[in-house]
């Protein structure tokens, strides 16, 4: 099968027809020198995974990989995966996400821990700076939590900063999140996120194209980024300086795959706003909350005749600000009224309301307080087209 540009899409029909081919693919996953693109090209020339291994052993691939192909024992690889609680997912398997086949160089094999990727549904990547600001971290947690609450899968790279915050937010929202690694499952990276990655493996899915024993190296992360983009229907960038690695993910998503690009605006004087602001100037959708993402992906119909129920951001649950936000409405109320309705003293209510104003969640009119109107309250909160948590977006 070929795409609109005439290039082969996916893998040849003969690629994985036998058990020997599956074992051969475990061998091919260990090749260090050749790129996924070269392997994809070789597969379309010789057709089967077994034939690919033979070609590699004859030296028809990348220098140095012929020895690797002769040293790998697929039985030992399978045993190692079992010990890690991981499984090999190949393009002929039902669990393999078909949208990855849109890539010029789709991964030939995925090693997966956790939930089945057949649950992926409609997915959004949330990526950004490793050295993020408190603002960026809070934005990523809040956005990912909202996305999870409405049934979207959150995909990211398990890195420090925005990636980790996105996974945490999705877990906090009770949703499904997928972490894509640039290393083997027994070499989680970064080590400081090891506990988070382990939790994602229990509650979501951890994915890598690298077999056990593969260390995280800088050259592996751009390859990891293409998988993040391929798994997702859209990519949201939250903070990043010019030249940020998150722009690689955005480039894969927008230029290579035609996915929806989105970005969260930041302070105009921050270097970390350069990447998202540059994307917005280039046509990416500006997003501030999950409803903006749903709009950008075309998952909600607009309407004026229904209102969404007010929602308390997960990061405010159990706080004084959360209690205050719960009693605010679109009708201005005095400090005394808000204090009485929330059960907080006047001083605590005043402090909390000031905090809500700083967050942009409340405002004052003539000395009275009301909830800041959200764009989502101007939309019909009905079942999304296709079903947010059901079938995939048609492409």
| CB count in 10 Å sphere of residue 392 | 15
Question: Model confidence over 216-262: pLDDT tens digits?
Answer: 999 999 999 999 999 999 999 999 998 888 899 999 999 889 999 99
Determine, yes or no, domain membership for 352: yes
Examine the pLDDT at 395 and tell me if it is beyond 80: no
Determine, yes or no, domain membership for 38: yes
Question: Model confidence over 122-145: pLDDT tens digits?
Answer: 999 999 999 999 999 999 999 999
Examine the pLDDT at 285 and tell me if it is beyond 60: yes
Q: What is the DSSP letter of 161?
A: T
**CATH code of the domain in which 329 resides:** 1.10.10.10
* Residues 182 and 277 grouped into a single domain: yes
* Residues 207 and 158 grouped into a single domain: yes
Question: What is the average pLDDT across 33-45?
Answer: 95
Examine the pLDDT at 293 and tell me if it is beyond 50: yes
Determine, yes or no, domain membership for 378: no
State residue 185's pLDDT score.
98
* Residues 279 and 324 grouped into a single domain: no
Kindly compute the dihedral angle of the four CA atoms of residues 168, 172, 173, 177, in this order, to the nearest 10 degrees.
40
State residue 3's pLDDT score.
53
- The Cα–Cα gap between 272 and 137 comes to 12
Q: Count CA atoms closer than 13 A to 225's CA, side-chain side.
A: 21
Last residue of a domain, one of 72, 102, 126: 72
Determine, yes or no, domain membership for 393: no
Question: What is the average pLDDT across 355-365?
Answer: 86
330 pLDDT band, cuts 50/70/90, is low
Q: What is the DSSP code string of 196-246?
A: HHHHHHHHSEEEESSPTTPPP-TTHHHHHHHHHHHH-SEEEEE---TT-TH
Determine, yes or no, domain membership for 53: yes
Examine the pLDDT at 59 and tell me if it is beyond 90: yes
**CATH code of the domain in which 162 resides:** 3.40.50.450
State residue 386's pLDDT score.
42
* Residues 154 and 252 grouped into a single domain: yes
> What does the buried/exposed string (b/e) look like for 1-40 if buried means 16 or more CB atoms within 10 Å of the residue's CB?
eeeeeeeeebbbeebbeeeebbbbbbbbbbbeebebeebb
State residue 372's pLDDT score.
79
In whole angstroms, how large is the CA radius of gyration of the chain? 24
Examine the pLDDT at 307 and tell me if it is beyond 50: no
- Beta-strand relationship, 260-264 and 285-286: parallel
State residue 258's pLDDT score.
94
Contact 369, 333 (CB under 8 A): yes
Percent of the chain's residues with pLDDT above 90:
72
State residue 318's pLDDT score.
84
State residue 8's pLDDT score.
80
The range of the structural domain enclosing residue 327 comes to 314-373
Contact 161, 130 (CB under 8 A): yes
Query: What is the arrangement of strands in the sheet containing 153-156, beginning at the earlier edge strand?
Result: 87-89, 110-114, 205-208, 177-180, 153-156, 123-128, 234-238, 260-264, 285-286
Question: Model confidence over 335-345: pLDDT tens digits?
Answer: 988 888 888 99
Q: How many residues does the chain have?
A: 395
Which position has the higher pLDDT, 109 or 346?
109
Examine the pLDDT at 367 and tell me if it is beyond 90: no
Examine the pLDDT at 361 and tell me if it is beyond 90: no
Determine, yes or no, domain membership for 100: no
State residue 130's pLDDT score.
95
State residue 297's pLDDT score.
93
Question: What does the block give as tokens for 234?
Answer: 């859209």
Examine the pLDDT at 393 and tell me if it is beyond 60: no
- The Cα–Cα gap between 117 and 29 comes to 19
Examine the pLDDT at 171 and tell me if it is beyond 50: yes
State residue 176's pLDDT score.
96
Which position has the higher pLDDT, 383 or 35?
35
* Residues 62 and 25 grouped into a single domain: yes
Question: Model confidence over 252-267: pLDDT tens digits?
Answer: 999 889 999 999 999 9
* Residues 166 and 260 grouped into a single domain: yes
- The Cα–Cα gap between 287 and 262 comes to 6
| Packing angle, helices 162-172 and 134-149, rounded to 10 | 40
- Beta-strand relationship, 285-286 and 177-180: unpaired
* Residues 269 and 335 grouped into a single domain: no
State residue 375's pLDDT score.
43
State residue 5's pLDDT score.
56
Examine the pLDDT at 381 and tell me if it is beyond 70: no
Determine, yes or no, domain membership for 202: yes
Phi-psi region of 5 (alpha: psi -120 to 50; beta: other; left: phi over 0): alpha
Token pair 């809040």 is at which residue? 142
* Residues 212 and 336 grouped into a single domain: no
* Residues 262 and 212 grouped into a single domain: yes
Please state, rounded to an integer, the average pLDDT across all residues of the chain: 89
Range name among 47-61, 267-281, 376-390 with the lowest pLDDT average: 376-390
| CB count in 10 Å sphere of residue 373 | 10
State residue 255's pLDDT score.
87
| Of residues 176, 203, 15, the one with CA closest to residue 91 | 15
State residue 266's pLDDT score.
94
- The Cα–Cα gap between 36 and 219 comes to 13
State residue 273's pLDDT score.
96
- The Cα–Cα gap between 255 and 36 comes to 19
Question: What is the average pLDDT across 170-191?
Answer: 96
* Residues 280 and 318 grouped into a single domain: no
Number of domains in the chain: 3
- The Cα–Cα gap between 269 and 38 comes to 43
Contact 129, 136 (CB under 8 A): yes
* Residues 149 and 256 grouped into a single domain: yes
State residue 76's pLDDT score.
97
Which position has the higher pLDDT, 86 or 394?
86
Determine, yes or no, domain membership for 17: yes
State residue 244's pLDDT score.
84
311 pLDDT band, cuts 50/70/90, is low
| Of residues 313, 323, 375, 373, the one with CA closest to residue 348 | 323
* Residues 177 and 265 grouped into a single domain: yes
């Amino acid at each position: 099968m070929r795409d609109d540009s005439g290039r082969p899409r996916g893998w040849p029909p003969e690629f994985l027809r036998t058990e020997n081919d599956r074992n051969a693919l475990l061998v091919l996953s260990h090749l260090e020198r050749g790129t996924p693109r070269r392997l994809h090209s070789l597969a379309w020339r010789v057709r089967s995974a077994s034939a690919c291994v033979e070609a590699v052993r004859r030296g028809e691939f990348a220098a140095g990989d012929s020895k690797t192909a002769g040293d790998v024992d697929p039985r030992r690889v399978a045993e190692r995966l079992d010990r890690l609680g991981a499984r090999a997912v190949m393009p002929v398997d039902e669990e393999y996400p078909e949208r990855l086949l849109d890539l010029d160089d789709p991964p030939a094999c995925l090693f997966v821990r956790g939930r089945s990727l057949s649950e992926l549904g409609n997915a959004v990547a949330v990526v950004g700076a490793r050295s993020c600001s408190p603002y960026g971290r809070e934005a990523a947690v809040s956005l990912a939590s909202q996305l999870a609450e409405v049934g979207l899968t959150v995909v990211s790279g398990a890195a420090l900063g925005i990636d980790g915050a996105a996974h945490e937010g999705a877990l906090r929202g009770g949703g499904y999140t997928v972490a894509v690694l640039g290393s083997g499952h027994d070499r989680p990276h970064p080590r400081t996120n090891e506990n988070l990655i382990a939790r994602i493996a229990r509650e979501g899915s951890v994915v890598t194209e690298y077999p056990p024993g593969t260390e995280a190296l800088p050259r592996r992360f751009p390859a990891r980024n293409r998988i993040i983009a391929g798994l997702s229907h859209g990519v949201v960038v939250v903070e990043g300086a010019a030249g940020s690695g998150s722009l690689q993910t955005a480039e894969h998503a927008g230029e290579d795959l035609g996915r929806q690009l989105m970005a969260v605006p930041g302070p105009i004087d921050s270097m970390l706003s350069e990447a998202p602001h540059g994307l917005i100037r280039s046509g990416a959708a500006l997003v501030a909350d999950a409803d903006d993402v749903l709009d950008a992906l075309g998952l909600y119909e607009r309407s004026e005749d229904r209102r969404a129920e007010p929602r308390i951001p997960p990061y405010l649950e159990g706080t004084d600000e959360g209690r205050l936000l719960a009693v605010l409405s679109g009708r201005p109320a005095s400090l005394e009224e808000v204090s009485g309705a929330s059960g907080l003293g006047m001083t605590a209510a005043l402090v909390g309301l000031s905090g809500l104003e700083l967050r942009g969640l409340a405002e004052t009119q003539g000395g009275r307080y009301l909830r800041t109107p959200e764009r989502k309250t101007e939309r019909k909160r009905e079942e999304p087209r296709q079903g947010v948590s059901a079938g995939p977006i048609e492409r």
